[in-house]
Every structure is written in C-alpha cells, then in structure tokens.
C-alpha cells in the first residue's frame, strides 16, 4: 500500500518564508497566526491525513459506494467514522466565519490542509470539499435567515452539502437547463428535474444534506439568464430547525466511473421537492460564480495532491528497487544491482514531478492568499487587486495543475514499471482518481476559453496588467547575481507570455476562433510564467536562509534550477502553436473527420 506524509516542511517554507503570512496580521483570522500555530495546525492536519484518511484510500477505491433499493447508500468502510472525526477535529470549518461556528482561520491555511486531505484520500475529501463549496455559496448569496439556518450545521460537519448543476444534456452550457422551479403560495418552490454527476449526492454519515440546485423558475428568460439557485434539503427542517420530513428528492442511481470510487456520484431526482430561492430570481449563476473560483482552485490542488502522493511513492520505489547498473559505473557494489534512482531517466521523471509539485504548491497557496485578501482586506484597492488575481489565475491553476498533475501521476506509475500497473501498489489509483480533475468544475478547455475569452479582457485587461507590473517590480528589486538564473528565466518567460498576449489582442479580436484555438497553449504559457515567478520568489526566500545549515534551502535552489533548465523550454513550443492561429485546426470540414 502506498504511504503518505504531508509535505509540512515545504508548506511551512511557503507560508512563512515565501508568503510571509505573519505580515498579514491586520487581516481577520491572521492576527494570532504565529509560526508556531501554523506549525501546529499543519502537523495536526498531516497526522489526521496520514493516520485517519490515507488508510481508507484504497479501501474506498476497492469497495466503492453501494446504493440500496431505497436510494440510501453505503459508503466504504471507515468513511462515516472518518467524517465524524474530521468534524470533531474542527477541520470542516477551519476557514469558515466564527459567526457560523467556524474557526475563521485563513483560507490559505485551509488550502494547505485541503492539499493534504486530497493527497491522502481524494474521494473522501470531496465530501467536505463540496460541503465547503455549498456553504460558501449560501454565505455569498443567501439571506441572513438562510445563513443562520443552514451554514452552522454544515460548518460543524453535522450536515453536508452538494452542488447540482449538470443535467444529462447540459454541463458546460447550463443555459440548456430543464430543471423547473414552480413558485408556491408560501414563497417556496417545487423543484422538478434530474441532475447528474452529483458528488456526495447521498451519504451515510450526515444527518442532512443541503443540496444547492440550479433550476429555472416557470416563465424565466431563455438561457443562462433564467437560471436561479435553490436550497433543497434532503430533510425539510421542522420548526426547531431540525431535519424533519423527507423531501421529494434522492439518489436515483450511482455512476460507475474510472476513479474516485469512494465518492457517491449520484443521479439526483427532484420530484417536486421543496426548494428555497437563494438570492434573486434568475441570478443563480452570479452566486455560483462567487464560489466557483474557490472550487476550481480546489480542483487544481487535487492535481497537485495526486501528483504529490504519487511522487512520494515513486521516490520510495526508486530508492528501494534494484535493477541494472548505473551507466556511469556501479553505485551500490554491495547489492546485486543499483537502485533505479541512479538511472538518469528515472531522475528526470522524479525531478519533473518535484519541480512541478513545489511550484504548484507555491502558486496555489499564493493564489489562496489572494482569496483571503479579496474577502478580508480592509482597503478596497487590495480587495480589488486580489479579486482580479483570483479571477485571472483560477482557470490557470485549475487546468495547468491538473494537466501536469496527471502527467506526474503517470510518470510515478511509470517509475514503478510493471508494479505500477497492478492494483496492489496503488499507483494506478492515483492516475484514475486524478483523471477527473481535468474534467469537472469546467473542463480544462473551458478554463482556457474562460482565460482568453473573459478573464484577460475583463475590465480593460486590468488583472494581467497588474500581474505583469508585480512581476516587473519583483524583477527590478531582485536582479542580483545570486538571483540571476531565476530572474533571467522569469524575464524570458514573462516576455513570451507578453508576446502571446499581444498576438491574442491582434488576432483574437477580429477572429475569435484564433483566440479559442490558442487558448490551451496560452494557458500553459501562463502557467509556466506563474511558476517562474513562484520559483523566483522561492529562490529569494531560500537564498536568504542558505547559510542556515539546513540543506532544505540548497535543495530548493537546485529544484528551481531544474525547473528553469528542463521545464521552461516547453514554453517556446507553446508560443509557436499560439501563433499558428485557428487555420490549421479548420482545414477539414466537420464531415471529413
């Protein structure tokens, strides 16, 4: 069975040395956040992930979820107990507002814990993850009464939550939605329709499930402008706010899928279920989008999380497995063969993963900090800038981290040779689980289109201009001899990004197909640029402590060098592809495929 040890050392480095989160002590939730407290939380999260969640990961994959005839489900052995332990540990409400019983800690810290839990058991972590998304949506768009009624029990882990968007005929294009909401005299609605691929749509460990459901009120405008958001509890609350009568909704079937077998992916049937409107009619997408950035950031981190755990096990295997001799001479003469880590091509795959994982962690935690700033900073300018960054960078994180994270899982499996293909070693599960992350919460193609079609141009391109200015300032401040390798790399990559952005501006406006055709490669250039910036920031922090006697910092600099020399060369290829325009993609008619 694979092992998992949370990368606490690396997280501490990013939070303390790179992001310097103590410096944000003017923000709510940050004020008492000493390095010691950060350490304590990270260590507790690591312990919980390793000891409680990870041992259930393979169990969950093998047992899957079973649906009973009455629509109830049995989750894998141990899942209910783990969920209770998670709630009791306060993990379900780590960054939620104290107003609703949360601990009010920074979202950036919650993100670090989320990475751990996703590494340890992705299928399990989705239950609290979706609940977090659901209560965030209620907080963002619900009435005060709705917040007080539902959010505290979700924060405490007594109730869970789900997000119901997709229908059989519509996923990306929610304007095609058919689920109907019929207004009732008492101000409630009767919700009727079918939703599919609803993660955690049913479970056997919470007293209630608060479904957030998108539906169209009778007579609503056509398309996406007629979509409203509803709270549809599994059990309608009684006068005391406790789960009472069973609502007319439930799990009509479970999806058989490639991975995340421990999560109940449900067909949800709503047969005139009682629902409560969240926010204004026909403005449901607005509330959804408020929490979408955080949800997408979370999915991006699933890519990192699966890559991280698969990397750890690939390292173990590469050190343990002996096979062949180093091409540059015997390295372990006392053994019948050298450990495979001596082979350069094994190193290549390990270093690719290591440089990706550490860059991805810095990038996602830095972006998570923007989420805190967006919601907690006192001055409007800071909130606005952070909000711009969240908007701009979320699609990059979602798509780039899952694309590359899957590659990492595939490489880690490859290092295992034949063992990687067997169930017993657990490596193939990481590939199967990770695979969904490129698809859900908007496919990676949709993310790329969101980036070039919406986020780049939004507010006159303010977000990317601010991001460029921030990188320029960093370059100007740190253009020293020590930093030369990392700063030069950032300059080059940033220049390539600018060239690609210019090309988009010149060619994408007149022909939107050009922008869409370039979107995948453009997003990757963006990802590499953000990583180059993160690696430069990490190099700066590592150089500052280089003489501390801790080899961690020298290792960090070495890994950064690998990133610069062996991973950034891909950017030039993406740039060439950006500039081909749409023409090569449309040489064939539809019928010619």
Catalytic residue among 374, 441, 565, 590: 441
**271: which strand partners?**
192
247 binds a second copy (CB under 8 A): no
Query: Which residue stretch of 84-92, 240-248, 257-265, 534-542 sits at the interface with a second copy (rule: CB under 8 A)?
Result: 257-265
Q: How far is CA 403 from CA 303, 355, 436, in A?
A: 7, 15, 11
**233: which strand partners?**
210
506 binds a second copy (CB under 8 A): no
Q: By CB under 8 A, name the one of 136, 160, 162, 166 that touches a second copy.
A: 166
251 binds a second copy (CB under 8 A): no
Minimum distance from residue 304 beta carbon to a second copy (Å): 18
543 binds a second copy (CB under 8 A): no
Round to whole Å and give the CA distance between 179 and 185.
Answer: 20
Query: Which residue stretch of 150-158, 230-238, 424-432, 490-498 sits at the interface with a second copy (rule: CB under 8 A)?
Result: 424-432
Minimum distance from residue 576 beta carbon to a second copy (Å): 4
Minimum distance from residue 425 beta carbon to a second copy (Å): 10
Round to whole Å and give the CA distance between 315 and 415.
Answer: 9
Query: Which residue stretch of 89-97, 276-284, 338-346, 527-535 sits at the interface with a second copy (rule: CB under 8 A)?
Result: 338-346
177 DSSP 8-state letter: -
| SS3 assignment, position 137 | helix
Binding-site string for a second copy from residue 276 to residue 315, where x marks contact by CB under 8 A and - marks none: ---------------------------------------x
205 binds a second copy (CB under 8 A): no
CA-closest candidate to residue 366, choices 385, 349, 402, 390: 390
Minimum distance from residue 185 beta carbon to a second copy (Å): 33
420 binds a second copy (CB under 8 A): yes
3 binds a second copy (CB under 8 A): no
Can 441 be counted among the known catalytic residues? yes
572-591 binders of a second copy (CB under 8 A):
572-573, 576-577, 580, 582, 584-588, 590
Round to whole Å and give the CA distance between 492 and 496.
Answer: 6
The number of CA neighbours under 13 Å toward the Cβ of 301 is 30
505 binds a second copy (CB under 8 A): no
**What's the token pair of residue 420?**
């990687």
440 binds a second copy (CB under 8 A): yes
Minimum distance from residue 581 beta carbon to a second copy (Å): 10
Round to whole Å and give the CA distance between 237 and 368.
Answer: 34
351-380 binders of a second copy (CB under 8 A):
351, 354
Compute φ and ψ for 249, nearest 5 degrees: -150, 155
**217: which strand partners?**
181
Say if residues 211 and 268 touch (Cβ distance below 8 Å).
yes
CA-closest candidate to residue 160, choices 116, 109, 195, 126: 126
Round to whole Å and give the CA distance between 114 and 137.
Answer: 18
User: Would you say 197 or 276 has its CB closer to a second copy?
Assistant: 197
Query: Which residue stretch of 204-212, 243-251, 410-418, 538-546 sits at the interface with a second copy (rule: CB under 8 A)?
Result: 410-418
320 binds a second copy (CB under 8 A): no
Q: Is the dihedral of CA 434, 440, 445, 450 positive or negative?
A: negative
339 binds a second copy (CB under 8 A): yes
Say if residues 434 and 405 touch (Cβ distance below 8 Å).
yes
Q: By CB under 8 A, name the one of 43, 242, 323, 548 that touches a second copy.
A: 323
436 binds a second copy (CB under 8 A): yes
Say if residues 262 and 61 touch (Cβ distance below 8 Å).
yes
Minimum distance from residue 432 beta carbon to a second copy (Å): 7
Q: What angle is formed at CA 64 by the lines to CA 67 and CA 173, rounded to 5 degrees? A: 75
457 binds a second copy (CB under 8 A): no
Query: Which residue stretch of 18-26, 121-129, 269-277, 415-423 sits at the interface with a second copy (rule: CB under 8 A)?
Result: 415-423
Catalytic residue list = 441
């Amino acid at each position: 069975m694979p092992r998992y040890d949370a990368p606490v050392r690396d997280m501490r480095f990013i939070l303390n040395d790179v992001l310097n989160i103590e410096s944000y002590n003017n923000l709510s939730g940050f004020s008492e956040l000493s390095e010691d407290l950060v350490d304590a939380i990270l260590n507790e999260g690591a312990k919980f992930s390793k000891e409680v969640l990870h041992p259930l990961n393979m169990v969950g994959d093998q047992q899957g979820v079973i649906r009973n005839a009455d629509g109830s489900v049995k989750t894998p052995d141990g899942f209910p107990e783990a969920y209770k332990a998670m709630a009791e540990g306060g993990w379900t409400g780590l960054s939620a507002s104290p107003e609703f019983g949360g601990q009010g800690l920074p979202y950036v810290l919650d993100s670090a814990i989320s990475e751990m839990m996703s590494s340890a058991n992705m299928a399990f972590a989705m239950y609290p993850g979706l609940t977090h998304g659901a209560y965030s949506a209620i907080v963002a768009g619900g009435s005060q009464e709705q917040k007080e009624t539902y959010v505290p029990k979700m924060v405490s882990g007594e109730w869970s939550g789900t997000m119901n968007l997709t229908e059989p005929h519509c996923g990306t294009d929610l304007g095609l939605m058919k689920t109907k909401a019929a207004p009732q005299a008492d101000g409630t609605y009767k919700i009727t329709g079918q939703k599919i691929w609803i993660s955690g749509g049913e479970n056997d460990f919470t007293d209630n499930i608060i479904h957030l459901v998108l539906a169209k009120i009778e007579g609503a405008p056509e398309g996406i402008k007629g979509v409203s958001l509803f709270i549809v509890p599994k059990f309608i609350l009684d006068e005391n706010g406790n789960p009472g009568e069973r609502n007319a909704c439930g799990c009509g079937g479970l999806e058989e899928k490639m991975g995340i077998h421990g999560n109940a992916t449900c067909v949800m049937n709503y047969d005139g279920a009682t629902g409560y409107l969240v926010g204004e009619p026909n403005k449901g997408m607005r509330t959804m989008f408020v929490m979408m950035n955080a949800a997408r950031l979370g999915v991006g981190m699933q890519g990192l999380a699966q890559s991280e755990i698969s990397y750890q096990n690939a390292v173990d295997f590469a050190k343990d497995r002996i096979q062949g001799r180093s091409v540059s001479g015997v390295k372990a003469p006392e053994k019948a063969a050298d450990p495979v880590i001596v082979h350069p091509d094994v190193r290549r795959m390990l270093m690719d993963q290591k440089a990706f994982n550490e860059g991805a962690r810095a990038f996602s935690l830095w972006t998570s900090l923007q989420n805190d700033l967006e919601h907690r900073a006192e001055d409007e300018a800071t909130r606005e800038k952070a909000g711009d960054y969240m908007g701009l960078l979320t699609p990059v994180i979602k798509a780039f981290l899952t694309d590359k994270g899957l590659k990492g899982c595939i490489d880690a499996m490859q290092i295992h040779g034949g063992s990687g293909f067997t169930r017993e070693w657990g490596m193939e599960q990481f590939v199967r689980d990770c695979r969904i992350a490129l698809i859900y919460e908007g496919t990676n193609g949709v993310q790329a289109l969101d980036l070039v079609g919406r986020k780049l141009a939004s507010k006159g391109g303010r977000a990317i201009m601010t991001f460029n200015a921030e990188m320029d300032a960093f370059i100007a401040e740190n253009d020293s001899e020590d930093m030369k390798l990392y700063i030069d790399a950032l300059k080059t990559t940033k220049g390539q990004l600018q060239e690609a952005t210019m090309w988009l501006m010149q060619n994408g406006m007149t022909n939107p197909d050009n922008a869409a055709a370039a979107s995948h490669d453009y997003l990757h250039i963006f990802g590499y640029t953000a990583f180059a910036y993160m690696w430069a920031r990490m190099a700066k922090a590592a150089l500052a402590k280089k003489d501390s006697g801790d080899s961690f910092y020298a290792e960090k600099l070495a890994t950064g060098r690998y990133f610069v020399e062996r991973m950034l060369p891909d950017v030039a290829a993406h740039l060439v592809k950006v500039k081909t325009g749409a023409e090569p993609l449309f040489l064939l008619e539809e019928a010619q495929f």
